[in-house]
Amino acid sequence: MKYSAIIVAAGSGTRMHLGYNKVLYEMEKGVRVLDKSLQLFLGDPDCTQVIVVLSEADYDIPLPEGVERAHGGATRAHSVLSGVNMAKESYVMIHDGARPFLRMEEVKKLKETLKEYPACFLATVEKDTIKEVKDGFVVRTIPREALYHAQTPQAFETELIRKALKKVMEDGISVTDDVQAVEYATDVKVKVVIGDESNKKLTVISDLK
């Protein structure tokens, strides 16, 4: 299955306190956080196009030959749509640039799932007991059987996610991931694909250790 990969790297990473975009942090000598995801998608023969969404401040950073650039926007929806509008394939995988530990096994699962469903995403099962709290006191215990941690990539038919992102932007809806746009704007059921806990997002400085 041929697809376009969109790597969202337009954030500022303020919670990391690095003073620069966390995707530019060198995990190994000469290998940035962003490079890990680039290497994976560039190594997949089914991925015919890699697009990196960048902020204005980072727009001219060095990228491998053939990797395309898209301008980030004021919101996630703006940034992702900027990349989606450049996609040439009928399917897209949208991945957070701050998730450098993605494995090809999970990408393969998504490709297989896309053969049957127009939208799918990686997620892991919640293992801890979850409490809803208000004003410092427990309101209730939420059954964890129905709770999952959303990851990326999130994979879609290109036209489906394009229309969904346009709708949330038109309606002024804030979304924290791309599946949420499909939830809001369409009646398409989004298939969960069980991922791996190693595919974590780098958020705070301790995540780099």
Confidence (pTM): 0.95
Residue 172 is part of which domain span? Answer: 3-208
- Residue 15's pLDDT is 66
- Residue 128's pLDDT is 96
Query: CATH number, domain at 16?
Result: 3.90.550.10
Nearest to 175 by CA among 90, 81, 66: 81
The contacts of residue 193 (CB under 8 Å, 6+ apart) are: 106, 109, 110, 113, 120, 121, 122, 123
The one-letter amino acid code at 89 reads E
- Residue 200's pLDDT is 95
What is the count of structural domains for the chain?
1
Q: What is the pLDDT of residues 53-85, one digit of tens each?
A: 999 999 999 999 999 999 999 999 999 999 999
Q: What is the pLDDT of residues 92-141, one digit of tens each?
A: 999 999 999 999 999 999 999 999 999 999 999 999 999 999 999 999 99
Tell me the sheet residues that pair with 92.
Answer: 4, 156
Task: Kindly write down the DSSP assignment for every residue of the chain, as one continuous string.
Answer: --EEEEEEE----GGGTSSS-GGG-EEETTEEHHHHHHHHHHT-TTEEEEEEEE-GGGTTS---TT-EEEE--SSHHHHHHHHHTT--SSEEEEEETT-TT--HHHHHHHHHHHTT-SEEEEEEE--S-EEEEETTEEEEEEPGGG-EEEEEEEEEEHHHHHHHHHHHHHTT---SSHHHHHHHH--PPPEEEE--TT-PPP-SGGGG-
Q: Confidence class of residue 32 from pLDDT cuts 50, 70 and 90?
A: very high
Share of the chain above pLDDT 70, in %: 97
Q: What is the spatial distance between Cα 93 and Cα 197, in angstroms, rounded to a whole number? A: 19
Question: Residue 154 — left, alpha, or beta (φ > 0 → left; ψ -120 to 50 → alpha)?
Answer: beta
Share of the chain above pLDDT 90, in %: 90
